[in-house]
Structure 1
């Protein structure tokens, strides 16, 4: 009887092994590179380095991981590089991958890559210098309605991203059209804030994680946040709805690989990122940057990107519809 139990157990283990993806050494056989298509300190870079830290500290991958910053063209240079790779290269993405194409700024689309995961979302904020006469988002919008060209608005790294789009959606509710707004484009959020503090621009729109360090240094005022409710970490910052504008806007970030990744590679990364987002260290990372957990695996991400493509097409009126 004992012998029979041992044989059955052995067959069970063999069956499980046969259904499992190949081990790390077989699937990932060399250093992994995560492309951050922006300069150090930007949102894509923060995401890439957070992933690097958690995967390595939690021993979720056997090989070394490096972050490579490929800067330029609103993410396109980094994504073009990723598209040309074959082995163990991933890239951070966001909605700009979709909107670049919709605005005819790039021929690359999300369909040119292997979707791996959506990881987190974060909120958008509007900031002004600490000594600015602008006291609230409501007064800013009222002033823009009266004299839109009197205000220079900073954004990075390219028009069409969620920073700009969230601001445009808010301003349209008070009757200010996108073409009336004067946006000034910078390579990264640090350059935007530098221009803001030097009074080269009057207002800036960016993600909360990018703005918070300057807020903590008492260099800028956070006028408004795109969340549905005030954050417990920043209870003093009002939402758009409190300023009379019905807008809730989440900015997502994910990760993708080159085209033609194997099923084993996709399955490996599905398992790895699923483990990563469950770790205490990743949860602490979300809290640190005030990101919101939004994990989706590769198949869910594929559907999500298709839905987002349709949504952004409608939002941006690329067909010329009202």
Structure 2
């Protein structure tokens, strides 16, 4: 007789746990939109579409997910849209959210959003067209040291992003002043490479995942990578340190939501994204794009964004705009 109440109590506990999990699952009550504030094929877009595919294929969310590209103002157009939403609309982000504000190009800050997660990092590269006479990053920097405006340098989607910043930090080590460099800004990496192969610009700086497809199709040469050592996937590409410049630079991407998200919503996304980054499909995505896992949950991302903001204030103590 004593076992019956205990058995009933156990069933009750299991039932309540199930109810609690269902309630959290129902935090997302309608379809989800992920804003990629860039063109298709860019880093934000690739990350957003990977998220969508894995969350849906692994059945980690029971609603439909769509990716919407809102292009303009270095991400700001998409981010402003998310600020005006109430729920179920998320956006990809990166350090540009911080640097836009520090450069006075935007009034938006990371504090205007709810941090959801930091997802991955990747390396920055410098590229030239396959027929370029520039043979190495070392020779490039030596030429720029003599004549800083000798080469036109392509970057997207806005000055102040990690693509430009990594190049500026490398150039400063050989006493090149950033304001003397000749940067040309394009909407996306496709436009940058198009300008490169048409000889409208001479050099470009961008993330590895954006550059690799052009490298694989033999349109460009990779001069240097911002990694701490050569990648086993690209053993032929030297690091900055091998070119005489001590620079290791990682570019991160994450996801955020509109302001004033509820505690339940944040907990739901913490639980869901954490499950996603543990899947084999996410691990394969990291491998495919040569990204590095850098998962941080909402509270960890909040602290990280604050740390990054302080770091960029120091790094950007120079005028990066021409």
Using the size of structure 1 for normalisation, the TM-score is 0.96
Please say if residues 95 and 252 of structure 1, whose CA atoms lie closer than 8 Å, have aligned partners that are also in contact.
yes
Measure the CA separation in 1 of the matches of 2:118 and 2:169. 24
Aligned-residue offset at 1:14 = 5.3
Q: 1:219-230 alignment to 2 at 5 Å? A: 219-230=219-230
**2:65: which partner in 1?**
65
Seen in structure 2, the aligned counterparts of structure 1 residues 7 and 319 have a Cα distance that, compared at 3 Å, is farther
What secondary structure, in the 3-state scheme, does the structure 2 residue paired with 1:150 have? coil
2:133 is equivalent to residue 133 of structure 1: yes
Measure the CA separation in 1 of the matches of 2:304 and 2:30. 30
**2:264: which partner in 1?**
264
Structure 1 runs (4+) greater than 6 angstroms displaced: none
Aligned-residue offset at 1:5 = 3.3
Please say if residues 21 and 267 of structure 1, whose CA atoms lie closer than 8 Å, have aligned partners that are also in contact.
no
Measure the CA separation in 1 of the matches of 2:221 and 2:52. 32
Please say if residues 103 and 318 of structure 1, whose CA atoms lie closer than 8 Å, have aligned partners that are also in contact.
no
Please say if residues 119 and 293 of structure 2, whose CA atoms lie closer than 8 Å, have aligned partners that are also in contact.
yes
Measure the CA separation in 2 of the matches of 1:21 and 1:300. 25
Structure 1: segments with no counterpart, 5+ residues: none
- Deviation digits for residues 248-267 of structure 1 (CA, Å, limit 9, x no counterpart): 00000000000000111100
**1:13: which partner in 2?**
14
Structure 2: segments with no counterpart, 5+ residues: none
Aligned-residue offset at 1:8 = 3.9
**1:111: which partner in 2?**
111
Please say if residues 21 and 264 of structure 1, whose CA atoms lie closer than 8 Å, have aligned partners that are also in contact.
no
What secondary structure, in the 3-state scheme, does the structure 2 residue paired with 1:293 have? strand
Measure the CA separation in 1 of the matches of 2:228 and 2:318. 27
Q: 1:66-81 alignment to 2 at 5 Å? A: 66-81=66-81
Measure the CA separation in 1 of the matches of 2:96 and 2:177. 21
Aligned-residue offset at 1:19 = 6.1
Please say if residues 136 and 224 of structure 1, whose CA atoms lie closer than 8 Å, have aligned partners that are also in contact.
yes
Measure the CA separation in 2 of the matches of 1:203 and 1:159. 15
Q: 1:74-223 alignment to 2 at 5 Å? A: 74-223=74-223
**1:301: which partner in 2?**
301
Measure the CA separation in 2 of the matches of 1:97 and 1:128. 27
Using the size of structure 2 for normalisation, the TM-score is 0.96
Aligned alpha-carbon RMSD (Å)? 1.5
What secondary structure, in the 3-state scheme, does the structure 1 residue paired with 2:23 have? coil
Measure the CA separation in 1 of the matches of 2:169 and 2:66. 37
Please say if residues 178 and 319 of structure 2, whose CA atoms lie closer than 8 Å, have aligned partners that are also in contact.
no
Measure the CA separation in 1 of the matches of 2:181 and 2:319. 21
Size of the aligned set, in residue pairs, is 319
**2:311: which partner in 1?**
311
Q: 1:235-314 alignment to 2 at 5 Å? A: 235-314=235-314
What secondary structure, in the 3-state scheme, does the structure 2 residue paired with 1:170 have? helix
